[in-house]
């Protein structure tokens, strides 16, 4: 994907949200390249793939919350951090609707606290901030392009739009080397939020149950394999170190193949050899009908392309991970080496 060679060897990287789906994959990719990873961990999450794989024992762990600026300043200074992967957030749309203040605290305050800590430490730290396609809100002009306005309206979407703009403001005002990523729905082994469509469908099939679609099945979304997401974040950070012109930019990462919720469930079922139809409940609220991204800017300026070009390419590995997880076989956990094989 790039020619940076030993760029990450011994590089000191601070990862927020390291126990989450994307965080676990990102840490794994960094460790495979020889990086010195420092992870911010708020809660004990024994089901996290970072914990189950043993990778948490290979990193330095800082215990605490994103909103604790003194803690962040200490960690950034004492570990002499060179790159920050800011993946920490409250990521569930339904939770944001039920608990907007907690979501705003984690996603908005947590972002400005981290950026301010970097500014106050005064080191030349490259920062990749995870926003979301939800920041764009509902728009008629699709696919989303980075120049589109951020029209978020509901709590989760607004929290990501605010974090997005705050991050770019720290570059525009203080010159911090910041880039923002906007991605669609991540999926892959390690996602234990069973309300999400991919893990929920796989678990239902493995249990002999009928998969559930919470919406009416028509909303379309981008789906990006978590391994590709992790590689995209690393690739962007490498480009930031080589080319200052990308600082202060936002980038969409996408396979550019949007799928409806019903199509996703059916594709997973087919991959698992399952026949029949899911149960469509049509009970979801505050959902944007159609969201999908153009990745043209990332291709043009970063030379980025996903390894898994389609959803169907990544489903077999994802299903294999969950079969192993549900059956209790940790040796089925996928690694970057197995993915590359």
* Residue-wise pLDDT tens digits, 228-264: 999 999 999 999 999 999 999 999 999 999 999 999 9
Residue 4 has pLDDT above 60, yes or no: no
Q: pLDDT tens for residues 155-178?
A: 999 999 999 999 999 999 999 999
Please determine, for residue 311, whether its predicted confidence score (pLDDT) is greater than 80: yes
Whether pTM exceeds 0.75: yes
More confident residue, 148 or 275: 148
Helix (H, G, I), strand (E, B) or coil at 7: coil
Q: What is the mean pLDDT of the chain?
A: 93
Indicate which residues carry an active-site annotation.
156
Token duo for residue 53: 């794989």
The answer to whether residues 14 and 85 touch, using CB atoms and an 8 Å cutoff, is: yes
Residue ranges per structural domain of the chain: 12-191+223-257+290-312
Residue positions counted in the chain = 341
| CA–CA dist 184, 231 (Å, integer) | 15
The rounded distance, in Å, linking the Cα atoms of 323 and 235 is: 30
- What's the whole-number mean pLDDT along residues 112-123? 95
The answer, yes or no, to whether the previous bond of 160 is cis (omega within 30 of 0) is no
Question: 12-191+223-257+290-312 architecture in CATH?
Answer: 3-Layer(aba) Sandwich (3.40)
Strands 36-41 and 60-63: parallel
> CB-based burial of residue 230 (10 Å sphere; 0-12 exposed, 13-18 middle, 19+ buried)?
buried
Q: Report the distance separating Cα 86 and Cα 261, nearest Å.
A: 28
* C-beta separation of 233 from 26 below 8 A: yes
CA distances from 206 to 172, 193, 313, 331 (A): 50, 16, 20, 18
Beta-strand (E) ranges in 242-290? 250-253, 259-260, 279-280
**pLDDT at site 93:** 87
At residue 275 the predicted structure's pLDDT band, cuts being 50, 70 and 90, is confident
CA-nearest of 171, 156, 151 to 108 is 156
Pairing of the two strands 83-86 and 12-16: parallel
Token pair of 56 as six digits = 């948490």
Whether the predicted pLDDT of 3 surpasses 50: no
Q: Is the CA virtual torsion 19, 283, 158, 226 positive or negative?
A: positive
pLDDT at 181: 98
For residue 338, pLDDT beyond 70: no
Confidence at residue 327, expressed as pLDDT on a 0 to 100 scale: 83
Helices (H), the chain: 21-32, 49-52, 69-78, 93-98, 100-104, 110-121, 155-174, 197-206, 226-242, 261-271, 296-297, 311-327, 336-340
In this prediction, residues 284-300 reach a mean pLDDT of: 91
Q: Interior CA angle at 91 toward 89 and 96, to 5°? A: 105
pLDDT at 5: 65
DSSP string, 31-96: HHTT-EEEEEE-S--TTSHHHHTSGGGGSEEEES-TT-HHHHHHHHHHTT--EEEE--S---HHHH
Q: Measured between alpha carbons, how far is 53 from 111 in angstroms, rounded to an integer? A: 28
């Amino acid at each position: 994907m790039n020619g940076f060679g030993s760029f990450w060897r011994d590089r000191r990287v601070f990862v927020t949200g390291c126990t989450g789906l994307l965080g676990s994959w990102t840490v794994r990719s960094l460790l495979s390249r020889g990086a010195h990873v420092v992870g911010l961990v708020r809660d004990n999450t024994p089901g996290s793939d970072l914990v189950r794989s043993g990778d948490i024992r290979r990193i330095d762990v800082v215990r605490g919350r994103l909103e604790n600026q003194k803690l962040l300043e200490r960690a950034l200074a004492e570990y002499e951090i060179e790159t920050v992967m800011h993946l920490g957030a409250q990521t569930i749309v339904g939770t944001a609707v039920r608990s907007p203040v907690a979501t705003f605290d984690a996603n908005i305050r947590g972002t400005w606290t981290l950026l301010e800590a970097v500014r106050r430490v005064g080191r030349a730290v490259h920062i990749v901030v995870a926003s979301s396609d939800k920041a764009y809100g509902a728009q008629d002009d699709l696919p989303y392009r980075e120049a589109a306005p951020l029209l978020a309206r509901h709590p989760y979407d607004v929290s990501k739009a605010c974090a997005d703009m705050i991050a770019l403001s720290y570059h525009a005002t203080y010159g911090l080397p910041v880039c923002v990523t906007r991605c669609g729905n991540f999926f892959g082994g390690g996602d234990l939020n069973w309300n999400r469509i991919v893990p929920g469908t796989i678990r239902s099939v493995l249990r002999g149950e009928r998969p559930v679609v919470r919406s009416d099945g028509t909303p379309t979304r981008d789906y990006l394999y978590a391994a590709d997401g992790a590689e995209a974040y690393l690739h962007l950070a490498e480009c930031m170190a080589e080319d200052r012109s990308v600082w202060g930019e936002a980038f969409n990462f996408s396979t550019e193949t949007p799928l409806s919720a019903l199509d996703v469930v059916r594709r997973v079922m087919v991959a698992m050899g399952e026949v029949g139809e899911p149960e469509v409940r049509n009970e979801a609220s505050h959902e944007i009908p159609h969201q999908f991204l153009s990745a043209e800017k990332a291709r043009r300026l970063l030379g980025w392309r996903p390894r898994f070009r389609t959803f169907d390419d990544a489903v077999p590995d994802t299903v294999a991970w969950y079969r192993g997880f549900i059956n209790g076989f940790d040796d089925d956990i996928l690694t970057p080496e197995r993915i590359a094989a």
